[in-house]
Structure 1
Amino acid sequence: MLQRWFIKVLFLFSLLSLATSLTYAQEQQPAAKIQGILMNADEMFRDSVNETIEMSGNIQIVYQGQHIKADKARVLLRTKRAELFGNVEIVDTKTSIKGDQIFLDYETNTGIIYNGFVQSGLVRFSGDRLEKIGDSEFLVSSADYTACTNCPSTWSFSGTSVRAEMGGYAYIKNAILRISDVPVFWFPYLVVPLKSDRQSGLLTPGFEQSDTGGFTLMQPYFWAISRSSDATITAKNYERRGLKGMLEYRYMLNDESSGTLNTAVLNDKAFGEDPRLNAFRSGSAVGAPLERWFVRYQHYYAMPDDVVARAQVNLASDLQYPKDFPFETDNYGDSAMENRISVTKNTKDTHASIDASYYVNMLQSDPRANNDDAVHRAPELRYSSTQKNIGETNFIYFWDLNYVNFSRAGNSYDDMAYTADGKTKYVKNDCNLPNWSDNPSCHRTYDGSYDSSIDLIRTGQRLDFRPALYYPFQISDGFDIVPILNYRETHYNFNVGEEQSYVRRYLRTSITSRMIFSGIYGDLITPKSTRYKHEVIPEVVYTNTPWIQQKDHPFFGTGPLNEAPYSSRDGISDGDLTSPYGLQFDYQDRIYDRNLVTFGLTNKITRKEWVGDRPEYQQIASLKLLQSYDVSQQDRSNSTREPWSDLMTILDVRLKNFQTYSIFDYFPYQGVTNISSRVRVMNDMGQFGQVGLTQQYKITPGQSVVQSSRTEDYTFAAGFVSPYINLMGQIVYDSNWQAAKFGKPVKSWAYIAQFKPPGDCWLVTLIQDQVTGGETNTRLNFEFTFDGNPKPPLQPEALDQFGF
C-alpha cells in the first residue's frame, strides 16, 4: 500500500517537473555575449566554423553604446559586419537610424541604410540609400531633409544628394524647398546648419513695406568671427530710397565685458525729395539724394582692480534720421542724442570717475542744422567716499567732490529777447520770432555784447564739494530717526560777464523719522508654508537751509533768492527760460528744499515662498503716498503762495495674473491730476490684456492750467496665444487730438502676428506699425529651425518699442 502511494506521488512530481520545464523553455530566449557583443533573440544559431551568428525574432544587440533592433540578422564575427533586415533600428546617444535593410561595419561604425532615415533631435534625413561614413556623418542619395516633427513635414528640402554631419552642416545639391510637400523654390546648392552653435552663413531674408521706402528686401549674413565676436552684415534694398548697407558687430572681452556696434549708410533718393529737407537747401541742391548714416555703440569693460570703462555713442548724419528709422537709433522722440565715455574705479572706501558727455540737439527744424548751441560736459571728474562711521561711534560721514566743464562750439552765452508783452523769452534772430527756427529764412543773431540783464550764460566751470554727517538712532524697535547735516560749497568760473569767478555756500539740515508696523499672515505652523508680510511705514522728513551765502549774479536770475520756487521734486522745463530765476547748467545749481516738510506713507506686502530648500522673497504690492509742505512760501512777498506740493501716489502690484504700475500726481491748487498708469491681466497661457493712461498738464505755480494743452493718451493692448498663431496688438488713442501737433485721434499703433505651422519648426512673423508722427511700416520675417531648436515666440514686452 505504501509502495503504491509512493509510485503515485513520484508520477505526479514527474509530470509537474516536466510542465515547469516546458514552460521555462518556452519563455526563455537564447542570449549570448560574444566578442563584447551582447545578443538576444527568439532564435539564435552560431556556426563556429564560419564564425557567423544567425538570429531571428525580437532581435536585440548592444555594442559600444549602440542598441540595435531587427526582425532578422546575421553577424559575421570574422569581418566585424552585421547584416540587418526588417524594421531595423540603431540608436545611440546622438542619432537614431531606421531602415528596411542596414549593412553595418560595427567596428568602424560605418555602413549602408536602404529606404530609411537618420534623426538627431528634430533634424531628420531620409532617402533610398544612406551611407554612414563616420560616427555622425552621412551621404544620402535622393534625400529629404527637415526639422519638423509632423508628418508630412510642414517644410522640407529635397535634393539629389546630401552630405550631412550631425552637429555640423548639411550640403544639399539641387535643393528644392517644399511647403507641405509642394515645391516652392529651387537652389542649385544649399548649406544649412545642423547645430545650435554659432556659425557663419546667410540668414533668412526679410521683407518690408513703407510709404516712403516702398517695397524693401533685406538679406542678412551672419559672420562668426571668433569665439568672442561675431557680426551681422545686411544688404537692405528700398524700392524708393536705394541700397543700404548695415552692420551689427558684437564682442565679448571677458565674462562681464561686452560691446555692440551698429551702423548703416544709405544714399537716400527719397529723402532728397523730402520737403522737410529741401526747405532748408539751396535751389541747386533741391531734390538731390543725400548720403545718410548712423552709428550706435555700447561698450562695457570690467578691468582689474575694480576699474570699469564705459562708452555710449549715438550719432547720425541728420536730425531726421531717428524719425525715419526709429528702430535703428533708438532716439525717436528724444530731445538730444547723448554720447558718453567714462572710466570709474571703486574701492572699499571711495569712488573715482572721469567722464565726458557730448550732446546732439535734436530740437531743431533743419534736419542738417549745426550743433553749435548744444552744451556738453567735458570733462567731468568725481571723487567721493562711501558712508563710514567715525571711529567706534554711531556718527556716519560722507563727502563728494565734483568738477564739470560746460562747453559748446558756439558762443558762451545766448543773446535773448522778449516778445512785446514781455511774457515770452526767445533767442535773438533776424525775424524777431520766438519760433524762428521753423522758418528757413530766419537765422540766429549775436550783437557781440553780453547783456547781464537778459542774456543767458551757457558755458563755464563748476567745482562742487559736499560733505555730510549722519547720526541714525532708534527710539524703540521699529522707530528710527536720522538727523543729517550737509555743507555745500560751489565755485564757478564763467567765460563772460564782469564777475567771472563766483562762490556759493550753504548749510542744510534734515531729520528723518520713520516707524514700521508689520504683521505676518498665512500658515504660521508649517515650516515651509507660503507667508505674507504686511508693512505700514509712515515717514516724516524735515529739511531746512538755515544759512546761505550767495550774492546776486546774472547766472542765478534777478528774483529774490528766498522766493525761488525750487523743491527736490521740481524738474527743469521751458518755463525756467522766462522765469526771473533763469536757466542754469543743470539741477545741481539750484538750492531746493529750503524749509520743507515731506510726509510719506508706504504700504507693502512681501511674499515668502519655498523653492525646494531655499526661501524666495518677492514684493508683490506696494502703495506709497508723498506730499510736501513748503514753510517758506508763507514768507513770500508775491501772490504765488502754494505751500502744499502735489500729492504723489505710486501703486506697484506684481501678481502672477495681474500687474500694474501707476503714478498719480494731484495738484491741489490747480485741481488736476497727472497720471501715468498701466494695468495688465494675463493667464498661464501667455494671453493678456492691457490698458494704460498718460495724462499730463503743464503746471505753472500761481496760474490755472490750460485744459486744451493737456496730453491725454489711452493705450489699449492685448495678446492671444494658441498652438498655431500668436497675436498681439497695441493702439494709442489721443483724446485731445484736436490740439495735438499731428492732429489725429490714433497717435500710434502696432500689431504682431506670429504664425506657427504644425511641426514646431518655423515661425512667420508679420509686424505692422505706425509710430507717432511717422508712416505705416510692414515687416515680414521667416525664421526656420534648421538645428532642431524651436524659436521662442515674442513676449508682450515686444510692443513697448512701438509706444513712442
Structure 2
Amino acid sequence: MSRPARLRLVLAGLGLLTPALVWAQAAAPEALRLRPSKSLGKAEADGKPALVLSASKLSTQIDQASRAEGDVELRYGELLLRAQNLTYEQVDDLARASGDVALSKGGTLFRGPELKLYLGRFEGEFLNPSYFFSLTGGGGSAKHMFFSDAKHLRAQEGTYSSCPIDESAPEPAWQIKADELAMDFEANEGVAKGAVLRFYGLPILGAPALSFPLGGQRKSGWLPPNINFDSRSGLEFGVPYYWNIAPQRDATLTPFLMTRRGPGLDSEFRYLEPEHSGQINWALLPNDRVIKTDRWALNLQQDGQLPLDWRYRVRAERVSDDEYWKDLPKRMQSLTQRLLLSDVQLGRDRKTSWGEAHAYGRVQRWQVLQGSEALANFDAPYQRSPQVGLRLNTAADDAVLDGFVPWVRRARLEGAVELEYNRFDLPSLTQLSPNQRKAMAEGRLYTGQRAHLQAHLSTPVGGAAWWLIPRLALNAAQYSLDQNMLDGRRSVHRSIPSFSLDHGWVLERDTTLFGRNSLQTLEPRLLYVNTPYRDQSSLPNFDSAAKDFNFDSIYTENQFSGVDRVNDANQLTLGLSSRWIDAGQGEEVLRLGAVQRYLFRDQRITADGMPVSQRLSDLLLLASAHINSQWWADGSVQFNPEAGRSVRTVLRARYSPGPFRTVSTAYRLARGQSEQIEIAWQWPLWGQEGKAAARRSHGNSCSGAWYSAGRIQYSLSDRRLTDSVMGVEYDAGCWILRVGAERQSTGQAEANTRLMLQMELVGLSQLGSNALKVLRDNIPGYRPLSANRSASLEAPYD
C-alpha cells in the first residue's frame, strides 16, 4: 500500500492496522483521514505505548516492515524521532533512521546522521551524534553513542560544554573531553574516563576517571577546589570531598593548605532522621605556624522530637582562642563573631479550648572572645544554668495584639502569665571586661538566682476601623544572690504594676497619587501608660537593656527589654501615619508617619540613671516610597526639639532599572557615636551584552561583557573605610570570571583583606573562592549573572 500524499499510520504495540481499516480504504474513494484521539499517547492493554508514524511518503507491509521518506516523524510514548528516511521492522521492533536524525526523550536531544534503535527497550547506536541536556543547559558531541536502555548510555570520544556553537571557532571556550563517557541515570552517576577540562584549548584539569552526578541529586566524589587569599593567612588551597553516606546523611571533608599557617582539615556532617536532624562542623588547624599552637572551631546544630511531644534544640559554637575570629573568620557561623553561644532548649506546647501552655527549660553558655586590645573589650552577658519556665495565654491573646489591626468581635477578657526560674552565672574571669572585673572587686557585680512572674489582663474591643485595649500588667521578681548587696542583703524582692490604654483608628478614602488611582489611609494611634516608681538601683541587672528608640519600641509599656528593669511612667504616646496603596495592584506606594511621647511627670528609671524631665520626647519621623518599579526610598529621623537638630538619621534609596542593574545608597547618623555612608551596586561597564541582559541570559552568545559589583562603607567620623567589598565580573555567556577584594575591620587600626578569584563554568561548576556568595550576601538587589542560564541546582556547600 503506497500513497504519494502525506499519510499517518497508528501502530498499537507490535500490531499495525486492522483488516477493517484496510477494507474501509478500499471501499472509500476519498483520502484516508484519522480522527485525533486523546488516548493516543497512553499505553495499550499490553503495557506498550502507541506508535505514531508520519511522513511525506509512506509504504508498509502488514506485520513486516514500514518505510518512510521525507519529513519523517515517529512518536512512541515520550520518544520523538525525526529524520528524512526511516525503516521500521515490526517483528524486531527496530527503527533505522538516516538524514538529519533528531531523537528527543526525557528532556535530552540527540542529533546525527544515522541511528539504529530498538524502540521498546531503547537499545541501539547513534553515529556521530551531538546532544543537549535541558537540565544543565549544556551538551556536546561524540563519535559513537550506544544506548543499553532508557537509563544507560555510553559515548565514545565524547565532549560536554554549555557554550553555544560558533562556526568560526574550532572549539567552544571551555569543554570536557573524555575517551569514554558512561551515564547511569538509574544510579544518578556519570563516569568519564580519560577526562580533561580545557579552557580555550588549554588543559586546566584532568583525571584518569571522573565521576559526577546526573541532574540535581547528590553524588559522592571530589568537588572543585577552593582557592582563597587574605592578608592574615596567605594563600589557601583546599579540595573538598563530598560523601553521600545515605539518603538522609552526608559529609564533606576538605583538606586545605595555608601558605602562612600550614595544613588543616575542614569537615561537615549533616543528618535528617525522622525525629532528629542536625549538622556538625569541625575545623582543625594543627600547629599553626604563626602562633605555634593547635587551632580549631566546632559548630553543632541539632533539632529533634522526644516522647510525650517534647521538642529540643541545640546550638553550640566554640573556637580554640580569642584571636580566631580575626585570623579564620570564614570558619565561624555566629553573626556575632566575638560572642559565641552554646544553647540547649527543651519545650512542650499544649493547646486547649481556653488557650495554650508552653513549658520550657534551657541551659545557656557564652564564649567571649575579648582579645588583647583593651579598648575593644566589651561586657560579657550572663549565662543561664538553668532557665525553667511556664507560659500560659488565652487563645486570642496573640492575635489581638499582633499588628494592632482592627477587628469586629465582642469584648472578652484575655491575658497571659509567665512563671520562670533562672540561675545566672558569668563566664570565666578572663572573659570579663575590665569594667566587670572592677565591679566584681568592688562588690557591685552579682551572680545568683531569680524567680519572676509576668502577667497581664486585657479587655480588647474594636470595630471595623478602630480598636481599644485597656491592659493591666504585673512584673514581680524574687532575687537570691551569692554576694551581699551594698546594704548587706542577699535576698530581695520587688513588684511593679502597670496600666495602659491603647487606642487607634484606620480610616480610608479613594484618591489619586502621581496620576494613579490609590487608596489612602489615615491611622492615628495613642498609647497611655501609667507605671508607679519603684527604686531598682540596688537590684542586680541580669538580662535588661534599654530598647532602641524607634517606631515599634515607642508603643511599648516598658522601655527596657528583659525582666530586671521596669521604667516608671505617666505618659501619652501619640502617632499618626498615612499610607497610599495602589488601587489596582494593592502595592504600597507611599508611607508617611510621625510619633512623639509626652511625659506628665519626670521619669526616674532610665538607662543611664539620669532622670528625664523633658516633657516632650524626641520626635520620630518616617517616610518610605516606591513610586515605580525602579525606585525605592525610605528614611527615619529622630529629632530633638530642644537641641533643634536630629539625634539619629537613616536615609536609604535604591535604583534598579532592570536585571543586573542596581545602585543603592545609605546614610546613617548616630550623633556623638558614628556617621557612615554606604553605596552598593551591580552595573554593566562595557561590552556587547551589557545592553542586552535579556538576550545574554539565554546564552545565545559567548561575547564578553564587564560588570562591576561592590559595597563601600565609609566612616565620616573616623575618616576611613570600614567593611567593604569590591569586584568585577566578566560574563562570556558560557563562563563567568569574578575578581574582587573584601575588607573587614578587626580593630581600631586593624583590618583583614581577602582577595577573591572565581571562575564559573555555566552549567557545570564554580572554581576558586566563593566570590558569588560574598557578593550576594553584601550587595542589596544583587543577582547572579548566570541566574537564567542554568537549570542545574546550586551546590549545597558554599
Class of the TM-score when normalised by the shorter of the 2 chains: 0.7 to 0.9
**Partner residue of 1:176?**
196
- TM-score, normalised by the number of residues in structure 2: 0.74
Query: Of residues 487, 493, 496 in structure 2, which corresponds to 1:506?
Result: 496
Q: Are 1:746 and 2:721 matched, yes or no?
A: yes
d(CA) in 2 for partners of 1:507, 1:123: 69
Q: Are 1:695 and 2:714 matched, yes or no?
A: no
Q: Give the AA of the match of 1:385.
A: L
Query: 2:653 aligns to what SS in structure 1?
Result: strand
* 1:359-400 residue CA offsets vs partner (Å, 9 max, x unmatched): 222344279x9999763112112212214689x963323222
d(CA) in 2 for partners of 1:753, 1:112: 46
Question: 1:566–1:591: 8 Å Cα contact kept in structure 2?
Answer: no
* 1:263-284 residue CA offsets vs partner (Å, 9 max, x unmatched): 3111353541xxxxxxxxxxxx
Q: In structure 2, do the counterparts of structure 1 residues 144 and 645 end up closer, same or farther at CA, with 3 Å as the change threshold?
A: same
Query: Of residues 703, 710, 714 in structure 2, which corresponds to 1:729?
Result: 710
d(CA) in 1 for partners of 2:610, 2:198: 80
Query: Of residues 738, 761, 768 in structure 1, which corresponds to 2:741?
Result: 768
d(CA) in 1 for partners of 2:173, 2:93: 40
Question: 1:598–1:627: 8 Å Cα contact kept in structure 2?
Answer: yes
**Partner residue of 1:539?**
525
Query: 2:326 aligns to what SS in structure 1?
Result: helix
- TM-score, normalised by the number of residues in structure 1: 0.74
**Partner residue of 2:48?**
none
Q: Are 1:220 and 2:220 matched, yes or no?
A: no
Q: Are 1:395 and 2:413 matched, yes or no?
A: yes
**1:505 to partner: Cα distance:** 1.5
Q: In structure 2, do the counterparts of structure 1 residues 222 and 99 end up closer, same or farther at CA, with 3 Å as the change threshold?
A: same
Question: 2:8–2:52: 8 Å Cα contact kept in structure 1?
Answer: no
**1:116 to partner: Cα distance:** 1.7
d(CA) in 2 for partners of 1:222, 1:765: 24
**1:354 to partner: Cα distance:** 1.2
**Partner residue of 2:601?**
632
Question: 2:129–2:142: 8 Å Cα contact kept in structure 1?
Answer: yes
Q: Are 1:347 and 2:350 matched, yes or no?
A: yes
Query: Of residues 269, 279, 297 in structure 2, which corresponds to 1:260?
Result: 279
Query: 1:204 aligns to what SS in structure 2?
Result: coil
Q: Give the AA of the match of 1:155.
A: W
d(CA) in 1 for partners of 2:541, 2:145: 84
**Percent of aligned pairs with the same residue?**
18
Q: Are 1:799 and 2:784 matched, yes or no?
A: no
Q: In structure 2, do the counterparts of structure 1 residues 729 and 786 end up closer, same or farther at CA, with 3 Å as the change threshold?
A: closer
Question: 2:256–2:263: 8 Å Cα contact kept in structure 1?
Answer: yes
Query: Of residues 164, 183, 186 in structure 1, which corresponds to 2:183?
Result: 164
**Partner residue of 1:155?**
174
Q: Give the AA of the match of 1:470.
A: S
Question: 1:46–1:53: 8 Å Cα contact kept in structure 2?
Answer: yes
**Structure 2: runs of 5 or more not aligned:** 17-50, 398-409, 551-559, 685-689, 691-695, 697-704, 783-798
**1:315 to partner: Cα distance:** 1.4
Q: In structure 2, do the counterparts of structure 1 residues 533 and 43 end up closer, same or farther at CA, with 3 Å as the change threshold?
A: closer
Q: In structure 2, do the counterparts of structure 1 residues 221 and 185 end up closer, same or farther at CA, with 3 Å as the change threshold?
A: closer
* 1:94-118 residue CA offsets vs partner (Å, 9 max, x unmatched): 4333222222333432122222234
**Partner residue of 2:152?**
137
d(CA) in 1 for partners of 2:326, 2:300: 19
Q: In structure 2, do the counterparts of structure 1 residues 532 and 74 end up closer, same or farther at CA, with 3 Å as the change threshold?
A: same
Q: Give the AA of the match of 1:735.
A: L
Query: Of residues 665, 671, 674 in structure 1, which corresponds to 2:648?
Result: 674
**1:60 to partner: Cα distance:** 3.2
Question: 1:246–1:263: 8 Å Cα contact kept in structure 2?
Answer: yes
**1:781 to partner: Cα distance:** 3.0
d(CA) in 1 for partners of 2:545, 2:369: 27
**Partner residue of 1:360?**
367
Query: 1:683 aligns to what SS in structure 2?
Result: strand
**1:119 to partner: Cα distance:** 3.4
Query: Of residues 429, 445, 455 in structure 2, which corresponds to 1:457?
Result: 445
* 1:493-539 residue CA offsets vs partner (Å, 9 max, x unmatched): 1111131111112221222232332224479xxxxxx9743322222
**Partner residue of 1:375?**
382
Query: 2:160 aligns to what SS in structure 1?
Result: strand
d(CA) in 2 for partners of 1:766, 1:772: 21
Question: 1:412–1:495: 8 Å Cα contact kept in structure 2?
Answer: no
Alignment: residue pair count: 677
Question: 1:102–1:114: 8 Å Cα contact kept in structure 2?
Answer: yes
Superposed, 1:572-583 pairs within 5 Å as none
**Partner residue of 1:496?**
483
Query: 1:633 aligns to what SS in structure 2?
Result: coil
Query: 1:777 aligns to what SS in structure 2?
Result: strand
Superposed, 1:562-601 pairs within 5 Å as 587-601=562-576
d(CA) in 2 for partners of 1:254, 1:621: 47
* 1:611-637 residue CA offsets vs partner (Å, 9 max, x unmatched): xxxxxx555554443322333328999
Query: Of residues 417, 421, 426 in structure 2, which corresponds to 1:408?
Result: 426
Question: 1:413–1:457: 8 Å Cα contact kept in structure 2?
Answer: no
d(CA) in 2 for partners of 1:299, 1:141: 47
RMSD: 4.3
Higher mean alpha-carbon deviation, 303-312 vs 160-169, is at 303-312
Q: Are 1:757 and 2:729 matched, yes or no?
A: no
d(CA) in 2 for partners of 1:792, 1:79: 56
* 1:386-443 residue CA offsets vs partner (Å, 9 max, x unmatched): 14689x9633232222221101355899999xxxxxxxx7744xxxxxxxxxxxxxxx
d(CA) in 1 for partners of 2:278, 2:591: 36
**1:28 to partner: Cα distance:** 4.5
Superposed, 1:44-123 pairs within 5 Å as 44-46=58-60, 51-121=64-134, 122-123=137-138
**1:780 to partner: Cα distance:** 2.3
**1:132 to partner: Cα distance:** 1.8
Q: Give the AA of the match of 2:709.
A: M
Q: Give the AA of the match of 1:730.
A: R
**1:597 to partner: Cα distance:** 2.3
d(CA) in 2 for partners of 1:763, 1:501: 67
Q: Give the AA of the match of 1:645.
A: S
Query: 2:563 aligns to what SS in structure 1?
Result: helix
Question: 2:54–2:72: 8 Å Cα contact kept in structure 1?
Answer: yes
* 1:186-213 residue CA offsets vs partner (Å, 9 max, x unmatched): 3222223222112222221121122222
Q: In structure 2, do the counterparts of structure 1 residues 269 and 801 end up closer, same or farther at CA, with 3 Å as the change threshold?
A: farther
**Partner residue of 2:209?**
189
Q: In structure 2, do the counterparts of structure 1 residues 253 and 28 end up closer, same or farther at CA, with 3 Å as the change threshold?
A: closer
Question: 1:372–1:410: 8 Å Cα contact kept in structure 2?
Answer: no
Query: 1:133 aligns to what SS in structure 2?
Result: strand
Q: In structure 2, do the counterparts of structure 1 residues 626 and 403 end up closer, same or farther at CA, with 3 Å as the change threshold?
A: farther
* 1:742-789 residue CA offsets vs partner (Å, 9 max, x unmatched): xxx212320244444324xx5444342001242210122344455799
d(CA) in 2 for partners of 1:538, 1:63: 68
Q: Give the AA of the match of 2:519.
A: K
**1:713 to partner: Cα distance:** 1.2
Q: In structure 2, do the counterparts of structure 1 residues 32 and 197 end up closer, same or farther at CA, with 3 Å as the change threshold?
A: closer
**Partner residue of 1:437?**
none
**Partner residue of 2:142?**
127
Question: 2:443–2:483: 8 Å Cα contact kept in structure 1?
Answer: no
d(CA) in 2 for partners of 1:78, 1:415: 88
d(CA) in 1 for partners of 2:84, 2:395: 80
**Structure 1: runs of 5 or more not aligned:** 1-23, 273-288, 417-424, 429-443, 447-453, 524-529, 558-564, 572-584, 611-616, 699-709, 739-744
Question: 1:87–1:100: 8 Å Cα contact kept in structure 2?
Answer: yes
Query: 2:669 aligns to what SS in structure 1?
Result: strand
Question: 2:6–2:55: 8 Å Cα contact kept in structure 1?
Answer: no
Q: Give the AA of the match of 2:445.
A: I
**Partner residue of 1:646?**
618
